[in-house]
Amino acid sequence: MYDVIVVGGGHAGCEASLACARLGKKTLLVTGNLNNIADMPCNPSIGGPAKGIVVREIDALGGEMARNTDKASLQMKKLNTKKGPAVWALRAQADKITYPKEMKKTLEHTDHLTLRESLVEDLLVEEDTIKGVMLEDGEKILAKAVILTTGTYLKASILVGSNKKQEGPHGEKASRFLSDKLKALGFRILRLKTGTPPRIERASIHFEETKLEEGSKDNLTFSYDSKTATATTLQIPCYLTYTNAKTHQIILDNLKKSSMYGGYVKGVGPRYCPSIEDKVVRFHDKERHQLFLEPESLFYDDIYVQGLSSSMPEDVQEQIVHSIKGLEDAKILKYAYAIEYDAIDAKQLKQSLETKLIKNLFTAGQINGTSGYEEAAGQGLIAGINASLKLDGKEPLILKRNEAYLGVLIDDLVTKGIKDPYRLLTSRAEYRLLLRDDNADLRLRDYGYQIGLVDEERYQRFCQKKKDIADVFEILKKERITPKEEVNAYLEEIGSTPLQAGLSLYELLKRPEMKMEHLLKLVKLPFDEAVLNEVEIEIKYEGYIRKAEQEAKKMLHLESMKISEDIDYEKIPNLASEARQKLQEVRPTSLGQASRISGVNPSDIAILSIYIKRGNYESN
């Protein structure tokens, strides 16, 4: 008898099982192939806009992805640095051998965690409560909670042109029955599709024909606790090339041969990640499309061609690849493919990621309709935490939209549901100014510590940082700078108005042209860069940050107006018909959540709000 069984060893499954085991739960991780734990079947990178911030959030809460990436990074970049701090984000090229290897090592060295190779084909359910799982050979394993992180493996089929195989990535066995069992339990099943580009042999590429794309030379790390990352010393570059008119012609000539355009695919593909066929068809006036050549590992020769996702048959893929500059003689090691898989309608989940239908059954990752390693890992962590909290009889951890991208992600999923695979984007976060790369620890580390995933040593380091930030604020507000000759000379040099009278350092830094680096030329502030950086952002963007906080406050007010579980929407007069139907489907827990359901308009919220208030009044 286990406390928790985690089904699936991808990024969601790893975080979920680590969280449970670290919280003292006797945990079993069941996965189809132990050699594929934390596999990266698509792009060899982790992070990017919004996603990179999720990795930081995972770290702040005590998850593994950030630390593991720091052990396996080939190259690191800080993106969007010319834009405001709200959208800065880290991205690593990660080694596809090292990353899984390091993750597996961590799993194997974690107490209370057992790994087992098998496929789960049924769930044991009694009285709407999960009791365990049944393996493909019929063996039953009991547990108090189960977390499904099945990725793309539910009824997976791989498509290349008209060729369709019932299997998961790498030819792995797919789970054939589990999705039917879920359907029988009342889950609405969606068919989704995603795809991946071809891999080509490094030695066959004419790199001199492409543009070099190097990473950052700085010592960038994902984890707040890593001292360095492997990328700092490795500095492995990527390369950039483009499609051209010839490529596009080949694609158009062969369009009907692709799985998508030939009508072989039923699943809905992601909008943000179109295949090269889609790009050429939808944006036919575009002369070229960018392709990044990314190394997959130090230990083998595959180069990932980012931008060339396709479901064309192999011979057409050959033609496409060879039409591209630098790839004329390229040898394809692995053809691009589309993959179809089953997912559940995430509107059937609570904000804790527990299913509404079956008690103690949680789901995380691609089964919930997301795509991306980071989105999966984040959900896995939250599902692991909440399964453990539930077994301890505690309230779940539900991050709000103003607290974390993870909050935005989960709220979007359970409130709006999805039509195509969901990817996090900065534009999905209405309070993104509060959800920055620099402050994920300030937002979330207390939660991680309280739950028990952040140990004392890491927490003390964080407390020191918090104290330092407060100290720097204090100094800047208290200390004044006087119009001395050398001060004014420097100010003029950087294009700032000379001082007439004394000014606090805080006020000086408020000047639009003034930066922390300038201030450091005038005064000594012996603190960490991260600390100074944090203070600078808080001061420079104070107006915008306050405004975002005000907005968040309004949202939190709506959020605090709870909707009782047994509300009957049929009984509320004057609701628009569409709103009534959507509310019935999602059954939001608060007025705030209700307001985010598409098809529920402000007038419906007003009506609902009056109804709730009156209800409260009457019951009092």
Partner 1 sequence: MEDTICAIATKLGVGAISIIRVSGRDAISKVNALFEGKNLEEVESHTIHYGWIKEKEEVLDEILVSVMRAPKTFTREDVVEINCHGGILATKSVLEALLRTGIRMAEPGEFTKRAFLNGRIDLAQAEAVMELIESKNDTAKRLALSALQGSTTNLVKDFREQIKQVIASIEVNIDYPEYEDIEQMTEEKLEKLLEDLQAKLEEIILQSKRKQQLKNGIETAIIGRPNVGKSSLLNHLLEEEKAIVTSIEGTTRDIVEGDVNLDGISLHILDTAGLRETEDVVEKMGVEKSKQILKKAQLVFFLLDGSKSLQEEDKKMFSSLEDEKTILVLNKKDQGIKIKKSDLPFSHVVVTTTKTKDGLDELKQEVKTMFQQDEIQENDAAILFNARQLALASQAQEKLKEAKCALEEGVELDMISLDLQEILETLGEITGENYQDEILDTLFANFCVGK
**Using an 8 Å Cβ cutoff, are 154 and 8 in contact?**
no
| Residues 6 or more apart whose Cβ sits within 8 Å of residue 187 | 344, 345, 348, 355, 357
- Work out how close the CB of 576 gets to partner 1 at its nearest, in angstroms, rounded to a whole number: 5
Pairwise CA distance, residues 587 & 565, whole Å = 8
Pairwise CA distance, residues 598 & 348, whole Å = 16
Paired strand residues for 290: 242
Give the interface with partner 1 as residue ranges (CB under 8 A).
42-43, 49-50, 79-80, 82-84, 86-87, 197, 213, 242, 270-274, 279, 282-283, 286, 288-290, 292, 306-307, 309, 416, 425-428, 430, 432-433, 512-513, 541, 544, 548, 573-578, 596, 598, 601-603
User: 290 vs 482, which CB is nearer to partner 1?
Assistant: 290
Paired strand residues for 123: 133
User: 180 vs 578, which CB is nearer to partner 1?
Assistant: 578
- Work out how close the CB of 18 gets to partner 1 at its nearest, in angstroms, rounded to a whole number: 28
Burial class (CB in 10 A: 0-12, 13-18, 19+), 340: buried
- Work out how close the CB of 613 gets to partner 1 at its nearest, in angstroms, rounded to a whole number: 20
User: 273 vs 358, which CB is nearer to partner 1?
Assistant: 273
- Work out how close the CB of 364 gets to partner 1 at its nearest, in angstroms, rounded to a whole number: 23
Take residue 109 and report the two structure tokens written for it: 């060295």
- Work out how close the CB of 522 gets to partner 1 at its nearest, in angstroms, rounded to a whole number: 20
- Work out how close the CB of 118 gets to partner 1 at its nearest, in angstroms, rounded to a whole number: 32
Pairwise CA distance, residues 100 & 373, whole Å = 12
SS3 46: strand
User: 242 vs 490, which CB is nearer to partner 1?
Assistant: 242
- Work out how close the CB of 306 gets to partner 1 at its nearest, in angstroms, rounded to a whole number: 5
DSSP string, 316-369: HHHHHHHTSTT-TTPPEEE--EEEEEEEE-GGGB-TTSBBSSSBTEEE-GGGGT
The radius of gyration of the chain from alpha carbons, rounded to an integer in Å, stands at 26
Please choose, from the candidates 152, 67, 50, the residue with its C-alpha nearest in 3D space to the C-alpha of residue 409: 50
User: 100 vs 307, which CB is nearer to partner 1?
Assistant: 307
- Work out how close the CB of 478 gets to partner 1 at its nearest, in angstroms, rounded to a whole number: 26
User: 429 vs 525, which CB is nearer to partner 1?
Assistant: 429
- Work out how close the CB of 314 gets to partner 1 at its nearest, in angstroms, rounded to a whole number: 20
Pairwise CA distance, residues 311 & 255, whole Å = 10
User: 90 vs 361, which CB is nearer to partner 1?
Assistant: 90
Burial class (CB in 10 A: 0-12, 13-18, 19+), 507: middle
User: 389 vs 425, which CB is nearer to partner 1?
Assistant: 425
Paired strand residues for 23: none
User: 299 vs 544, which CB is nearer to partner 1?
Assistant: 544
User: 118 vs 609, which CB is nearer to partner 1?
Assistant: 609
- Work out how close the CB of 391 gets to partner 1 at its nearest, in angstroms, rounded to a whole number: 35
- Work out how close the CB of 40 gets to partner 1 at its nearest, in angstroms, rounded to a whole number: 13
Residue that the structure tokens 């609405």 belong to: 188
Distances (CA, A) of 482 to 120, 476, 504, 505, 585: 72, 14, 9, 10, 64
User: 270 vs 588, which CB is nearer to partner 1?
Assistant: 270
User: 457 vs 570, which CB is nearer to partner 1?
Assistant: 570
Pairwise CA distance, residues 171 & 191, whole Å = 20
- Work out how close the CB of 246 gets to partner 1 at its nearest, in angstroms, rounded to a whole number: 17
Q: Provide the CA 369 distance to its chain's centre, in angstroms.
A: 12
Pairwise CA distance, residues 330 & 155, whole Å = 33
Pairwise CA distance, residues 399 & 409, whole Å = 10
